Structure 1
């Protein structure tokens, strides 16, 4: 199967006049870019990389579905763990009862393995204080975790979107698959639960979709629903590519994707208030790119590799594009949710 992927990639790359012969790591982020016109593209071209790291062209995406797993060095950046302090939050709770989740999930979250320390991480740090009237909070009743979410408005339409990455489930080691279908499982960067608290957890595609783990290696397109909830709380659904395009153009943002990234260490303007952080990934069962890149699966399978592949997007500290690319379902990425209204 890998050989078939490799041959398919060879033909795909030969047909792409703009592809470069090499790719940079997310943290290197060159000014040149493969597929500069990918802002609104649903391009299914898969890019190859000679690097063992997850390959991003200008930290904007691109990966090799045919590449084998390789050992990567993981960052040991320390983060303080979290007890959320409501008194220090810069916004009031504007959430309605519809934003509260009541946990009727088919999977149980089991132990959430939350960690705490004497120095609490304040979750409002990455947010845009100028948009405080647009933020609110809600509590996921499955594990008692509180999240900030934000109202996105543009052209007479609106979305309420989580301004933090989801963190729910029992931690499993990064070298293992999330394959226990009786509960929600999560990766924490460097197998450190304090990083789950600060950056959110990382999930394989089938886990995010709350589908059987076998859906990471076979097509389960017939089980993907409109407004697919996945592991989001009740009343919320998984973020789509169309949602992210709307977010980029919301709240008066004039900075493109840079307006979606936090000013708190992730090279953005955060004019949308979406507050992306450099959560990194579990790429081929190795943690990489903490504080330099973030990735998220979409609730759809790859158009070319429906068995093993999904669509995804990514951002690095210097990204200027909004790619929609393809990757392996088994990579562990962040999850954001949108309120169902």
Structure 2
């Protein structure tokens, strides 16, 4: 009986040990299954979420931002594009941050967000560059527009309002000029243009006016808008409407009384005697200042409106004197000891004197202003 009892106890112990071992195997198997499932889940989630994020960022966002940048060029609204891009980047960032929390892969999220931010920056840069370019283009367009000079501006207002000035139309080029009659002392009078002549084809200052078949002119600094405001500049033979060779030799035999030169029909070139009448006009007590335009250091009480049209030097450059000095030729020349000289005068803003015509040492190759007087 004791043996049976001992054997029974032994079987009970064996069975207990067997069941304990079975329990350990089940636990190990369960742990292995859970680990495998978690790993598989993370791997699948990581690939799907990351792939989805990259695709959205590289196609959806990039395409959207590209469209935004393109529309900003047309609409010139870079500020809105920048705001929109930032907004999309933020949304994209939020999406990826959420995805990475689920998948546990934060590095993938940061990479995507960084990529999206670069795209956003690129979009803003593109938009800003296009906007600046358009703005620059519009400035260039507006600055290229030239408003014709108001030739009534420098004329004495009360003389203009009292109908002292009249207008003449030059049929050769359709240009009109203000002119008036100035009464000098002792009954002398002269009807003279109140503007410098402006006619002819412009040639650069570094060239002579050599084409005898047409009228040529210089414009100060080779700028035609200067011709519009101040008139053309002419070499002596050009002004006289004589061959270019007359600039280097005497052509005294070709000079006529009331020489027309390049003035319109019915008009002739200004002479020194004409200027004397102008300077001695009734009411003029200022000498040359009375003949100069108010913007040229004068009073213009005569109405002649002499302007600082500058000078083209015989060497081809323009003297730095626009608005400060003016020069003109007279239709004459003189021989002194067999040497030829040309008549002319000049005056400046700061000097109330007239130089010439007694100063004969002028070359005929300078570019000077021309005034015309109505022939009687």
Relative to the length of structure 2, the TM-score reads 0.58
Show the counterpart of 2:132: none
Q: 1:32-51 counterparts in 2 under 5 A? A: none
Q: 1:242-321 counterparts in 2 under 5 A? A: 242-264=273-295, 266-284=296-314, 285-288=316-319, 289-304=321-336, 309-321=341-353
Give the superposed CA RMSD.
Answer: 1.6
Structure with greater helix percent:
2
What is the deviation of 1:251?
3.9
Q: 1:4-153 counterparts in 2 under 5 A? A: 117-132=145-160, 133-153=163-183
What is the deviation of 1:252?
1.5
Aligned to 2:310, the other structure's residue is in SS state: strand
What is the deviation of 1:156?
2.0
Structure 2 contact 292–307 (Cα < 8 Å) conserved: yes
Matched, 1:195 2:223: no
Matched, 1:169 2:200: yes
Higher relative contact order (CA 8 A, sep 6+): 1
1:256-301 CA-partner distances (Å, limit 9, x unpaired): 111011112x100111111011100101211111111000000011
Consecutive unaligned residues of structure 1, counting only runs of 5 or more, are 1-115
Structure 2 contact 290–300 (Cα < 8 Å) conserved: yes
Max Rg structure: 2
2:239 to 186, 195, 208: 208
Structure 2 contact 148–228 (Cα < 8 Å) conserved: no
Using the alignment, how far apart are the partners of 2:298 and 2:174 within structure 1?
30
Using the alignment, how far apart are the partners of 2:338 and 2:146 within structure 1?
46
Distance 1:306 1:209, change over 3 A: farther
Relative to the length of structure 1, the TM-score reads 0.64
Show the counterpart of 1:332: 367
What is the deviation of 1:307?
6.5
What is the deviation of 1:131?
1.5
Aligned to 1:134, the other structure's residue is in SS state: coil
1:44-93 CA-partner distances (Å, limit 9, x unpaired): xxxxxxxxxxxxxxxxxxxxxxxxxxxxxxxxxxxxxxxxxxxxxxxxxx
Using the alignment, how far apart are the partners of 1:178 and 1:305 within structure 2?
28
Structure 1 contact 281–333 (Cα < 8 Å) conserved: yes
Consecutive unaligned residues of structure 2, counting only runs of 5 or more, are 1-143
